[in-house]
Amino acid sequence: MRIAAILLAAGSGQRFAASSPGGAAPPKQFTLLGGEPVIRHAARALAPHVDLIQPVGTHPGVADALAGLNCLPPVAGGAERQDSVRAGLEALNALPDGQSPDVVLVHDGARPFVPAELTKAVIAALSSHPGAIPAVRVADTLKRVEHGVIAQTVPREALWRAQTPQGFHFNLLRDLHRTHQGPVTDDAALLEAAGQTVAVVEGSDDNIKLTHPEDLVRLERLLGHTPL
């Protein structure tokens, strides 16, 4: 089974930049963590489990950040995350005969510390399901809030937070991306809409997506570089 990973790095990281001092930080996936860009950690974490990595994003930092790692040349992303995923899928589809993958993992370049066991579990689940994602159970009590007051307490027993890498049979995800209309925030949603089964494997609280500056403090702690 040939396995590819799409490594997403085409986001502008606006939430991260807006909340950083001066509001002019580079896109979050290039933030240095232990002296190396976040996306380089992400690529290194995936590399042992896949045959090829397709980066998406042509920010000038991408090539430097991934230098020396065994990645395909980056391709341009799109305005929305799903446009960037589709660009990665089309690049993999255009590889010469026999090189396109059987399965693809789609991973946020802003998630540097995906545990090896988690990636292996997603790949293993693809032998019996067309899609598989890591997710963690919601721990907090959930409130639906309207106009600043609680409208409802939402039962949380069946609620999970989706992470990446999300894995799929390659041809299926490619075809769903070609035909789907409307916004989605992850790839599993396309399979759900098409009535396809998506397995859920246990995610990890260490699989943090760098979104806000305080996430960087947690990531530094995981590295053992606690700032203070």
Q: What does residue 218 show for φ and ψ, rounded to 5 degrees?
A: -65, -40
Structural element, H or E, at residue 151: strand 149-154
- Nearer to ligand C5P among residue 9 and residue 123 (C-beta): 9
Among the residues of the chain, which ranges form H helices? Answer: 14-18, 38-46, 61-65, 81-93, 116-125, 170-179, 188-193, 213-223
Task: Report yes or no: 48 and 1 within 8 Å, Cβ to Cβ.
Answer: no
Binding mask 43-82 for ligand C5P (x = CB under 6 A): -------------xx-------------------xxxxx-
- Nearer to ligand C5P among residue 90 and residue 129 (C-beta): 90
Residue selected from 5, 6, 10, 188 as contacting ligand C5P according to rule CB under 6 A? 10
Q: Restricting to residues 203-222, which ones interact with ligand C5P according to CB under 6 A?
A: 209, 211
Token pair listed for 152? 């409802």
Binding status of residue 109 toward ligand C5P by CB under 6 A: yes
Residue 87 CA to residue 225 CA, distance in Å, equals 35
Binding status of residue 29 toward ligand C5P by CB under 6 A: yes
Q: By the criterion CB under 6 A, which residues form the site for ligand C5P? A: 8-11, 29, 56-57, 77-81, 84, 108-110, 209, 211
